[in-house]
Structure 1
Amino acid sequence: MDSNTTIRALAALAQEHRLAVFRLLVQAGEAGLPAGAIAEAVGVPASSMSFHLAQLSHAGLIRQRRQSRSLIYSADYAAMGGLMAYLTENCCGGQSCAPKVEAAPLGCC
C-alpha cells in the first residue's frame, strides 16, 4: 500500500458514521450486509448511507455486490490488512512490540 492509498483510507475512516459502518462490516464477515440493514444499524437515513458507502468503496475499504435486488456490502480484509501493515511497517524501531510476559514462579498455578 502506498501513502496516497493510505491517506484515502484514513480520510474515509475519519468520520463517525463511516467508521461505524466499517467496523460493522468487519464484524459481519464475508457474508456482508445489505445497505438498508447497515443504515438501520448505524441510524443513518438511506440517502446519507449511500454517500458514506460510496466514500468507503472509493477508498478501497469495502466491496459491493448485487444479490438479487439488493446491494450487499462487505469489508475488504486485504485492504484492511494492507492499511495495518503500512501503519506498522517500521513499528518500534525493530524491537518487539509485544508486551513482555513474565514466567509464572515454579509451583504456581
Structure 2
Amino acid sequence: METLDALSALRALGHENRLAAFRALVQAGLQGLAVGELRERLGLPAATLSAHLNVLRAAGLVQDAREGRVIRVSADYARMNALLAYLTENCCAGAGECAPASNVCSPPSRGDRA
C-alpha cells in the first residue's frame, strides 16, 4: 500500500460513525449487511449513513452489491489487511519481537460458510 492510500483509509476511519460502520461490517463477515440493517444498528439517518459509506467506498474500505432492491455492503478485507500491513511493516525495527504477519483477518470464503 502506498502512503497516500494509507492516508485516505485512515482519514476515512477517522470519524466515529464511519469507524463504527466499518467495524460492524468487519464483524458481519463476507456477507456484509444490508444498508438498512446497518443504518438500524448504528441509529443514523439514511442520508447520513449514505454520506459516510461514500467516504469509506472512496477509500476502498467497503464495497457494495445490489441484491434485488437491497444494497448489501461489506468490508474489503484485502484493503484492511493491506492497511494493517502498511502500519506494521517496520514493527519492532525488524527485531522479530512482533506478532507474525499472518495475524490478519481472513474470514472464511463464501463457499466455506455453513
**TM-score, with structure 1 as normaliser:** 0.88
Structure 1 segments of 4+ aligned residues over 2 angstroms from their partners = none
Partner Cα distance (2:67, 2:55) in 1: 21
Give the match for residue 46 of structure 2: 46
Partner Cα distance (1:23, 1:42) in 2: 11
- How far has the Cα of 1:97 moved from its partner? 1.8
- Indicate the percent of aligned positions where both proteins have the same amino acid: 51
Give the match for residue 20 of structure 2: 20
- How far has the Cα of 1:10 moved from its partner? 0.1
**TM-score, with structure 2 as normaliser:** 0.84
Which of 1 and 2 has greater Rg? 1
Question: Can you give the 5+ residue segments of structure 2 that lack an aligned partner in the other structure?
Answer: 100-114
- DSSP-derived class of the 2:51 partner: helix
Give the match for residue 98 of structure 2: 97
Letter in 2 for 1:82: A
Q: Count residues in correspondence.
A: 98
**Residues 1:7 and 2:4 aligned together:** no
Question: Can you give the 5+ residue segments of structure 1 that lack an aligned partner in the other structure?
Answer: 99-109
- DSSP-derived class of the 1:65 partner: strand
